[in-house]
Amino acid sequence: MKKLVVIVLLLNVWVVNGQTDEEKLSGTLKEFHQAMVKGNTVAINQQTDKALSYGHSNGWVETKSVLIKNLETGYMKYNSYKEDSLQILINGNIANTRFVADIEVAKEGNTGNYHLKVLEVWVRKGKRWLLFARQAVK
């Protein structure tokens, strides 16, 4: 039984370490969006670059500190965030991701549903990917 447990653990390590950069970034991107839905500002702080520029489809741009403050105060509340048609292009320590998103968000208590095309720019720092910039269009 002990041998079986060791084999399973080794296979798990092998699978995790065997992930491609694209798979790792895809997972990080989805984790970030779910942190937005959960309002997990600790995770959002860890997954974003200090120079974050978070652009919305209406032209409004949030910095990292404003994004976190708006989530903490309830000014913005993401109810759902679903990605589709994800494309990832990695060039060294920089990556751009493009996808179609269906987002339900409440701003100052007014809920809206948005179908957007999104571009996110991620930078790799060490072994982690951090969101550097995001822009959405209708």
Q: How many domains does the chain have?
A: 1
**Helical residues (DSSP H) of the chain, grouped into ranges:** 2-17, 21-38, 41-47, 64-73
What is the Cα–Cα distance from 130 to 128, expressed in whole angstroms?
6
CATH of the domain at 62: 3.10.450.50
Q: What is the pLDDT along the chain (138 residues), one digit of tens a residue?
A: 666 555 655 556 555 566 788 999 999 999 999 999 999 999 999 999 999 999 999 999 999 999 999 999 999 999 999 999 999 999 999 999 999 999 999 999 899 999 999 999 999 999 999 999 999 999
Residue 48 bridge partners (DSSP):
131
Task: Give the pair of three-digit tokens for residue 53.
Answer: 């520029």
Domain membership of residue 96 as a residue range: 2-137
Q: What is the pTM of this model?
A: 0.83
Rounded to 10 degrees, what is the CA torsion of 129, 112, 82, 77?
50
Distance in Å from the first CA to the final CA of the chain = 55
